[in-house]
Amino acid sequence: GQNIDQPTEMTATEGAIVQINCTYQTSGFNGLFWYQQHAGEAPTFLSYNVLDGLEEKGRFSSFLSRSKGYSYLLLKELQMKDSASYLCAALDSNYQLIWGAGTKLIIKP
Amino acid sequence: SAVISQKPSRDICQRGTSLTIQCQVDSQVTMMFWYRQQPGQSLTLIATANQGSEATYESGFVIDKFPISRPNLTFSTLTVSNMSPEDSSIYLCSVTSGEDYNEQFFGPGTRLTVL
Of B45, B90, B102, the CB nearest to A31: B102
| Chain A residue closest in CA terms to B5 | A42
Residue type present at position B81: S
Q: Show the CA angle centred on residue B38, arms to residues B51 and A108, nearest 5°.
A: 120
Contact B104 A87 (CB under 8 A): no
pLDDT digits (tens, 9 = 90+) for B22-44: 999 998 887 899 999 887 778 89
pLDDT digits (tens, 9 = 90+) for B61-97: 999 999 999 999 999 999 999 999 999 999 999 998 6
Contact between residue B111 and residue B88 where contact means Cβ atoms under 8 Å apart: no
Query: Which has the closest alpha carbon to A4: A86, A102, A104?
Result: A102
Which residues of A make CB contacts under 8 Å with B?
Answer: 30-31, 33, 40-45, 48, 50, 87, 91, 95-97, 99-102
Residue type present at position B14: Q
Give contacts of B31 with chain A, Cβ < 8 Å.
Answer: 95
3-class SS shares of chain B: helix, strand, coil, % to 5: 5, 50, 45
pLDDT digits (tens, 9 = 90+) for A2-52: 899 999 999 999 999 999 999 999 989 989 999 999 988 888 889 999 999
Query: Which has the closest alpha carbon to A18: A54, A60, A71?
Result: A60
Give contacts of A42 with chain B, Cβ < 8 Å.
Answer: 90, 92, 106-109
CA torsion sign for B3, B8, B11, B17 is negative
How many CB pairs lie under 8 A apart between chains A and B?
Answer: 43
